[in-house]
Structure 1
């Protein structure tokens, strides 16, 4: 697993306690399929922005719907 993927998964697990994520199998599954609602998504994206010192636009937030989407954006 890449460092980026490890970091993203760690942030998701922190933002969404109890989320059961298998990074290799769930990378392309939507957050909705993973049981991550819109509030959880915003929380995890805030963690991503803080870690990588980024600021997502509303358009980017709308397009970030899976673990792999985030990895491609920050990696």
Structure 2
């Protein structure tokens, strides 16, 4: 598992107060009882941790931990390419 995945899992585990080793990329938000408020709070933490901006319209499409990781990977790659902290997809 790469560093981005590990950091995202740690953020989600902390937000839900559960052990990080109980979360995989295939774990769904439904399994973790993550609601829309949790998604917003987690997105703020992820944005701060990676110095990225997650588009508001992207939050609704996040259904699993893997979705978060893939989205962060894309935003980090776009930021590195453009030198910007904001990316759109």
Flag the structure with larger Rg: 2
TM-score normalised according to structure 2 size: 0.67
- Counterpart Cα distance in 2 of 1:41 and 1:61: 7
Report the counterpart of residue 22 of structure 1 in structure 2: 23
Once the two structures are TM-superposed, the CA of residue 34 in structure 1 deviates from its matched residue by: 2.0
Aligned 1:29-44 pairs, distance under 5 A: 29-44=27-42
- Counterpart Cα distance in 1 of 2:14 and 2:6: 12
Structure having greater relative contact order (Cα 8 Å, sep ≥ 6): 1
1:50 pairs with 2:48 = yes
Root mean square deviation, CA, Å = 1.8
Q: Which runs of 4+ in 1 moved over 4 A?
A: none
Aligned 1:2-17 pairs, distance under 5 A: 2-17=2-17
Unaligned stretches of 5+ residues in structure 2 = 74-89
**8 Å contact kept, 1:30–1:66:** yes
Q: Secondary structure at the match of 1:30?
A: coil
